[in-house]
A and B are shown apart, each in its own frame.
Chain A
Amino acid sequence: MTIPGAKQTSVGALVIALLIILPLIVNSGFALTVMSQTGIAIIFALAFNMLLGQGGMLSFGHAVYFGLAGYVTAHVMNGMANEDLPYMPVSLIPLVGGVAGLFFGILIGFVSTRRAGTAFAMISLGFAELATGLTLIIIFFFNGEEGVQTDRWVREEWFGITYGPDIQVYYLIAVWCVIAAIAMYLLTRTPFGRMSNAVRDNPERVQFIGYNTHRVRWLAFSLSSFFAGLAGALHAVNVEHVGFETVGLGQSAVILIMVYIGGTGHFAGPILGAILITLLNAYLSDISPAWYLYLGLIFVGMVMFAPGGLAGLIMMHDPIRRAAPHLLMRMAPAYAAAFGTSLVALVGCIGLVEMAYFLSTTVSRNTALILYGIALDAADFWPWLVCVALAAAGALGCSRTYPRLAESYGTAMHEARRAVAS
């Protein structure tokens, strides 16, 4: 028999090994920056999912705790450099951010978690707007639109670590990312984690059993703010600057979109979303001006058709894999057909969007554009015709292949159930 937790331990060991060797394989400066950002995004996304996925609380302002902790961290580092504050190693400074996040989480969470659902979402929106407004008024602490500058090289630490080179910061983020992820995973296994799920699913029943739903939500909110603050501190260390946009609605929106696309129903979902969206953001935002439109459309598409997110889509196949893995192979043709038609539709739609964006944002009268490696004139008629034709053909194809895919999934599920029963 297997040892309990053996699977998790082996997955964890694999991830840690990957994190250590990853910068040795891809060692460009840009890739390192992206990996550091990804690590921060993973912590923040997991913290956000403690609210949205596990606690059922939709927040439009969780970046408040991320950003405020970032400000506190920047001030603490500056204070240590001026010797106004007692020295502590920068390696441990994420804890300062975490405590700052926890402090604001306890304070604001007490009032905002009294209500759940839409009221909670609106209160979080109100606090997000208040925080953004305050960053521009309280110059003493937030330094207005300029933000707070800081320097992570305070003094040499153990083994000669100075956090001067980016690679050292990457490993700092990686270590804290692993610690935070493990801590948050273990939290889901505690009685508190289960109560949080119960309050999400049926608060009335929880009250009848004798629990205080407000207190459970408050605790979940505070702990989530702790981890959000930890991520915010790492952000301050990573970019050595904290600006008013870190507490704002935009930052909160991005994390919400990441977590939802990754999938709120599974612990690994937010990790998946954080990695995917950070990577796409880093590499696509340079190529396409319409990147945010695509992100928004993916998000809306997920809300409408796959509320479980990517993790939900993957986990749909888990029962089949367990019962009879060969059934997955039988679904491959249906998947290939759906993928092919989607690709045709996507090529057409992306072409249209790119040309429209190009025409509206380009200042000069220059309408020459390189699309898919082909030089063309966006003011011409034929590229539009080709793209419309591709989009229409793809959409028509999708309307045939997707029902067939659903049918093949249904058959596979049915046979998997029979295999389990027999």
Chain B
Amino acid sequence: MEVFVFSLFNGVLYGMLLFLLASGLTLIFSMMGVLNFAHASFFMLGAYFAYQISQPLGFWPALIAAPILVGVLGAAVERYALRPVHRFGHVAELLFTFGLAFVIEEVVQMIWGKVPVPYDVPPSLNVTAFAWQGLDYSVYRLFMLLISVGIFVALFFGLTRTRIGLIIRASLTHPHMVASLGHDVPKVFMWTFGVGCALAGVAGVIGGNVLGTEPGMAIQLGPIVFVVIVVGGLGSLGGALIASLLIGVLNNMAISYDFSLYPIFSLLGVEREAEGILADLVSLTTGAIAPLVPYLLLVLMLILRPRGLFGTRDV
């Protein structure tokens, strides 16, 4: 029981971090048609900026300043690099963000080195919130959950209840009409890109000290975020939330339970003492295949239902 509760809790936490990344990416993707390969790189930059700022100033200034920096950087990338590439088409844009991810990883290595940096959980939050069945739960994890849920609520109300949200949603589907009504659509794009990157930056600030701040963190998380937005459906915040939680919880459950998949194969008549390829199948566990499941889901979704769970149009 306690394993279930804790893996559920950790799964939700991981899922909410994924959501912080996916929410910005799905808005950017459905608005501009650009799959931003460098989105997870902005998440990484958030973590590194937070580390750098927290060295002299502490965690709290970093929590505010790092996402703003990342957001401004993202907006600048959109304005001065992505927009000129736009005239060469979507494939060129995709290639540009792919190259950008490559460059950001190398620049991070250039400035902070190849080994992980010691970006730690702030001591004031690194205390036990509650202990249950002999397992501790730190205040910091509750804090992460609070921040990510807060951002989801703010984003949801901002998009559905405010005038700015209305313009953004209209720009998703009817950019020409929005432009005809006198709004500066390219500027809307730029700020959406910037805010999306800032959200990824927030995820970096609050997640970097738990997941580890190192140059490989972007490439590890990046493809999973693609899975989230495809499964959730383009431009659907609710879909992104559900897909994030689904992947987060499934992943954590599969790893913490680590069921053997032998019973399934034994139904197919595989002996336990099998040899060759069957021996690999017999020893398979859910933990071993957990990293593969999201990509299987991605491929199946793109082939069978390209609009995702809650999307309204195809990828």
Contacts and interface: CB of A to CB of B under 8 A. Distances in A.
| Pairs A-B, 9 closest by C-beta atoms | A293-B106, A300-B99, A296-B102, A296-B103, A126-B298, A133-B292, A126-B299, A129-B295, A140-B277
Given A133-B292, A253-B102, A296-B103, A58 B94 contact: yes
B279 interface: yes
B269 to A, nearest CB: 18
B88 to A, nearest CB: 5
B277 A130 contact: no
A63 to B, nearest CB: 15
Nearest to A114: B303
Interface in A306-363: 307, 353, 356-357, 360-361
Interface of B: 33, 35, 81, 84-85, 88, 90-92, 94-96, 98-100, 102-103, 106-107, 109-114, 219, 223, 226-227, 230, 276-277, 279-280, 284, 288-289, 291-292, 295-296, 298-299, 302-303, 306, 314-315
A360 B113 contact: yes
A111 B303 contact: yes
A92 B145 CA distance: 59
Given A114-B303, A133-B295, A297 B103 contact: yes
Contact of A296 (B106, B276, B280, B291): B106
Interface stretch (A42-50, A116-124, A174-182, A272-280): A116-124
B280 A140 contact: yes
Contacts of B96: 300, 303-304
B95 A58 contact: yes
B291 A353 contact: no
B109 to A, nearest CB: 8
Contact of A138 (B81, B92, B277): B277
27 contacts: A60-B98, A114-B303, A115-B315, A117-B91, A119-B302, A119-B314, A119-B315, A125-B226, A126-B223, A126-B227, A127-B295, A130-B295, A130-B299, A134-B292, A137-B288, A140-B277, A290-B106, A292-B106, A293-B106, A293-B110, A296-B99, A300-B81, A300-B96, A300-B102, A303-B88, A303-B95, A357-B109
A13 interface: no
A360 B295 CA distance: 35
A290 B94 contact: no
Contacts of B315: 115, 118-119, 122
Interface in A256-296: 256-257, 260, 290, 292-293, 295-296
Contact of B223 (A58, A111, A125, A361): A125
Interface centre among B106, B107, B288 (most CB of A within 10 A): B106
A118 B90 contact: yes
B284 A360 contact: no
Contact of A303 (B99, B106, B291): B99
A303 B296 CA distance: 31
Interface of A: 56, 58, 60, 111-112, 114-115, 117-119, 121-123, 125-127, 129-130, 133-134, 137-141, 249, 253, 256-257, 260, 290, 292-293, 295-297, 299-300, 303-304, 307, 353, 356-357, 360-361
Given A137-B280, A360-B111, A126 B106 contact: no
A305 to B, nearest CB: 9
Contacts, number: 131
A118 to B, nearest CB: 5
Contact of A307 (B92, B106, B107, B291): B92
Nearest to A52: B91
A249 B219 contact: yes
B160 to A, nearest CB: 27
Nearest to B107: A293
A118 B94 contact: yes
B299 A299 contact: no
Contacts of B299: 111-112, 123, 126-127, 130
A217 to B, nearest CB: 14
B289 A122 contact: no
Interface centre among A123, A303, A357 (most CB of B within 10 A): A303
Contacts of A290: 106, 110
Given A58-B94, A130-B296, A118 B33 contact: yes
A138 B223 contact: no
A304 B103 contact: no
A139 B288 CA distance: 12
A257 B96 CA distance: 11
A138 B280 contact: yes
A130 B95 CA distance: 22
A137 B94 CA distance: 31
Contact of A360 (B88, B94, B112, B292): B112
A267 B120 CA distance: 52
Nearest to A58: B91
B206 to A, nearest CB: 25
Contacts of B102: 253, 257, 292, 295-296, 299-300
Nearest to A358: B110
B110 A353 contact: yes
Contacts of A123: 298-299, 302-303
A309 B113 CA distance: 31
Given A129-B295, A133-B291, A356 B226 contact: no
Contacts of A126: 223, 227, 295-296, 298-299, 302
Contacts of B91: 56, 58, 117-118, 121
A218 to B, nearest CB: 13
B310 to A, nearest CB: 18
A41 B251 CA distance: 37
A304 B219 contact: no
Given A118-B35, A356-B111, A140 B94 contact: no
A141 B277 contact: yes
A378 B202 CA distance: 34
A358 to B, nearest CB: 10
Contacts of A137: 280, 284, 288-289, 292
Nearest to B230: A122
B303 A304 contact: no
